[in-house]
Amino acid sequence: MVREEISEQEAAELRACGAAMAEAARAAILPHFRTAMAADNKAGPGGFDPVTVADRAAEEAMRAVLAERRPQDAVLGEEFGRQDGESGLTWVLDPIDGTRAFISGTASWGVLIALQDARGPFYGIIDQPYMAERFEGGLGAAALTAPRGESALGVRTGRALEEATLFTTFPEVGTEAEGAAFHRVAARARLTRYGLDCYAYALLALGQIDLVIEAGLQSYDIAAPIAVIEAAGGVVTDWQGGPVHEGGRALAAATPELHRAAMKLLAEQSP
């Protein structure tokens, strides 16, 4: 199956499945947040890539929902890898994007759920369980559901790079050369802030910020943000303007004009 073959009824069923996975992940994660919880290091000596019981429990909970509702679909998850399917659709799961934030007690982590075909993601959820905020995009949706109710997602427009707010996780990720490229953009932006992981992409879709620049991403880090931001009217590519749903360097922008301006600076050679 590809996205064009999905009927309105099937779209509603897929969105309901996404919501059920997000609810299951919330229930699995929240009992562990801000507790005395150990973190294993997946990176081994010399690095730090934390994973917790909450990461594993959340992905297991989401996979259980899929096993019941969508056994024909493939699954790709950060903690338990790939499971083949036969429908042509793949769910891409990051149970906790921002585990470093999670173990630090900050609320900028989130659950990422994406649905993609061979061309890439076309539906996504960025869910922040602690703040009860769910950003949903694709299959006819572009909305934030939060304690204050539901509101439409939409990027903000009409801003030049010199007026833009830029987010990133540099210097925590990326090479020295990638960091230098990022700083060429940051030098032109009005405001640059660091951290927030997936929540930065959610803020871009909400119209609060204008640019996110990242490197060293995996597919499960970026698939859901792509779908949510594109549904909100934004642009997400790699640093050369190509697809980025398989990971790597990502440039997310509120408008094509901002995207072009940032991409030009990223491509410049350092002196």
pLDDT mean over 154-161: 98
Length of the chain: 271
Q: Is 188 exposed, middle or buried (0-12, 13-18, 19+ CB in 10 A)?
A: middle
pLDDT mean over 132-152: 98
Cα separation, 70 vs 127, whole angstroms: 20
Q: Give the residue from 52, 56, 73, 101 showing the smallest Cα distance to 10.
A: 73
**Predicted structure pTM score:** 0.96
pLDDT mean over 173-184: 88
Q: Give the residue from 101, 144, 124, 97 showing the smallest Cα distance to 245.
A: 124
**Tell me, what's the pLDDT at 115?**
98
Q: Please name the fold of domain 3-152.
A: Fructose-1,6-Bisphosphatase; Chain A, domain 1 (3.30.540)
What is the CATH code of the structural domain delimited by 161-267? Answer: 3.40.190.80
Domain ranges of the chain: 3-152, 161-267
**Tell me, what's the pLDDT at 172?**
65
